[in-house]
């Protein structure tokens, strides 16, 4: 018989021992098999074996909790819910240890201790499910309250563990690039829109630099064999995206160009067209057509601005400000087209 006796204090120690066994072996099945062997050899009583099984059941959740600590909120919610459920069932089963043996042994299935222990293990989990099921909504609300929704950094998917597989690593890098592109396009669309909302643009301008730095450092660690031409092409496409992100983020700081776009009614149609494409995260072909159209219109606009200046309708500095503004719009369309093109290329090479 294990030390500690068969009293409540000893049983509580055995629950803790069960938790430790699972933590060390990382296998509740192995722990239960050990308990069954000890019980079959009469080294422990049925109540002691049941206490150990309760501890093993609680211990199975610790691995999931440790794995979820650095994961997403959904992972942490699931791990905490599992832990609380197993603790709850343990608290319900532990006081019944003195009564459970006669009940289980009184059935034809529980004639021997080992079968009765298996029934006990199954039974108290079913009891827990029966108790928690009607309280699912409240239980879920409690777990969500205990795990607040913390904002996840945009570069969070860049897991170092994925670097062992260049395909998985580049998939993570492309997911970050996709999120940054969509966020940046949406912010630009709001900034040049009729409401002239610059808040999102200010936010993405501040976030973009550290995300690009993290993305560049991550890609520098990706190792691709020379004979993996498809993966090499995907890697090059990611590097091109980095370059165009940096250039587009520089454009985001040129707020004077955005103000000028809103002031000149001759640019309204071009601005609205680009804004719609950015808001939809359009494909490369759409942005390419828009860039060519704006380039053509920019030449006409520049000549028209010069004529207005000669006629005394606008000042010289206004000519430069207006031509710089439409050139800014053309560059935005160019970078958007390149980003969409290389994102599609990276996905094709996957």
d(Cα 169, Cα 158) in Å, to the nearest integer?
7
pLDDT, tens only, 266-285:
677 878 888 898 999 888 88
pLDDT over threshold 90, residue 237: yes
What value does the CA radius of gyration of the chain take, rounded to a whole number of Å? Answer: 32
pLDDT tier at 217 (50, 70, 90 boundaries)? very high
Stretch among 33-37, 167-171, 312-316, 337-341 having the lowest mean pLDDT: 312-316
CA dihedral 79, 84, 87, 91 (to 10 degrees): -170
Digit-coded pLDDT (tens) for 123-138: 888 888 888 888 888 8
Chain center to CA of 73: 8
Report the distance separating Cα 343 and Cα 334, nearest Å.
14
Task: Give residue-wise pLDDT tens across range 135-166.
Answer: 888 888 888 888 776 555 788 888 888 898 89
**Backbone angle region of 151, left / alpha / beta, with phi > 0 → left and psi within -120 to 50 → alpha:** beta
Q: How many Cβ atoms from other residues are within 10 Å of residue 5's Cβ?
A: 13
Query: Could you tell me which residue, 308 or 179, shows the higher pLDDT?
Result: 179
Measure the CA–CA gap between 221 and 164, rounded to whole angstroms. 10
Model confidence at 90: pLDDT above 70: yes
Q: What is the mean pLDDT of residues 23-50?
A: 80
Q: Is 157 exposed, middle or buried (0-12, 13-18, 19+ CB in 10 A)?
A: middle
d(CA 175, CA 327): 30
| CA-based torsion, 157, 158, 163, 168: positive or negative | positive
DSSP 8-state class, residue 44: S
DSSP labels, 289-308: HHHHHHHHHHHHHHHHHHHH
Q: Give the span between the Cα atoms of 189 and 207, in whole angstroms.
A: 17
pLDDT at 311 over 60: no
Average pLDDT over residues 14-27: 80
Could you give the C-alpha distances from 133 to 3, 71, 228, in angstroms and in order?
A: 38, 26, 52
* Among 112-121, 123-132, 239-248, 267-276, the least confident range: 112-121
Question: Is the distance from CB of 65 to CB of 19 less than 8 angstroms?
Answer: no
Backbone angles phi, psi at 318, to 5 degrees: -70, -30
- pLDDT at residue 175 greater than cutoff 50: yes
> Does 312 score more than 60 pLDDT?
no
Q: How confident is the model at residue 196 (pLDDT cuts 50, 70, 90)?
A: confident
What confidence category does residue 1 fall into, taking pLDDT thresholds of 50, 70 and 90? very low
How confident is the model at residue 4, as a pLDDT? 47
- Locate the domains of the chain by residue range: 8-146, 160-348
pLDDT value for 243 = 94
The CA-to-CA distance between both ends of the chain, in Å, stands at: 60
Q: Which of 56-70, 121-135, 179-193 shows the lowest per-residue confidence on average (mean pLDDT)?
A: 56-70
pLDDT at 47 over 60: yes
Check if the beta carbon of residue 241 is closer than 8 Å to that of residue 208: no
pLDDT at residue 91 in the model: 85
pLDDT classification of 298: cutoffs 50, 70, 90: low
Phi, then psi, of 311 in degrees rounded to 5: -80, -5
3-class DSSP state for residue 225?
A: coil
């Amino acid at each position: 018989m294990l030390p500690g006796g068969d009293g409540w204090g000893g049983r509580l120690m055995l629950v803790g021992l069960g938790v430790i066994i699972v933590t060390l072996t990382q296998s509740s099945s192995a722990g239960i098999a050990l308990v069954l062997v000890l019980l079959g050899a009469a080294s422990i009583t049925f109540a002691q074996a049941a206490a150990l099984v309760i501890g093993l059941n609680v211990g199975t959740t610790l691995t999931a909790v440790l794995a979820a600590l650095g994961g997403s909120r959904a992972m942490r919610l699931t791990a905490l819910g599992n832990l609380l459920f197993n603790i709850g069932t343990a608290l319900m089963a532990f006081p019944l240890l003195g009564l459970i043996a006669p009940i289980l042994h009184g059935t034809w299935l529980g004639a021997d201790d080992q079968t009765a222990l298996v029934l006990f293990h199954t039974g108290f989990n079913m009891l827990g499910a029966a108790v928690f099921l009607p309280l699912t909504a409240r239980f879920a609300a409690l777990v969500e309250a205990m795990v607040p929704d913390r904002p996840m950094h945009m570069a969070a998917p860049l897991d170092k563990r994925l670097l062992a597989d260049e395909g998985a690593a580049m998939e993570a890098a492309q997911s970050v690039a996709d999120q940054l592109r969509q966020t940046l396009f949406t912010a630009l669309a709001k900034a040049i829109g009729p409401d002239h909302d610059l808040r999102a643009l200010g936010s993405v301008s501040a976030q973009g630099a550290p995300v690009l730095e993290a993305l560049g450092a991550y890609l520098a660690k990706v190792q691709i064999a020379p004979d993996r031409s498809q993966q090499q092409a995907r890697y090059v496409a990611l590097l091109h995206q980095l370059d165009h992100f940096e250039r587009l983020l520089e454009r985001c700081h040129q707020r004077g160009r955005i103000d000028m776009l809103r002031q000149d009614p001759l640019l309204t149609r071009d601005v609205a067209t680009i804004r719609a494409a950015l808001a939809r995260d359009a494909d490369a072909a759409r942005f390419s057509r828009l860039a060519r159209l704006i380039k053509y219109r920019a030449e006409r606009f520049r000549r028209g601005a010069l004529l207005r200046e000669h006629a005394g309708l606008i000042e010289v500095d206004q000519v430069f400000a207006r031509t710089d503004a439409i050139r800014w719009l053309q560059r935005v369309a160019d970078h958007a087209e390149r980003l969409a093109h290389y994102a599609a290329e990276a996905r094709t090479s996957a």
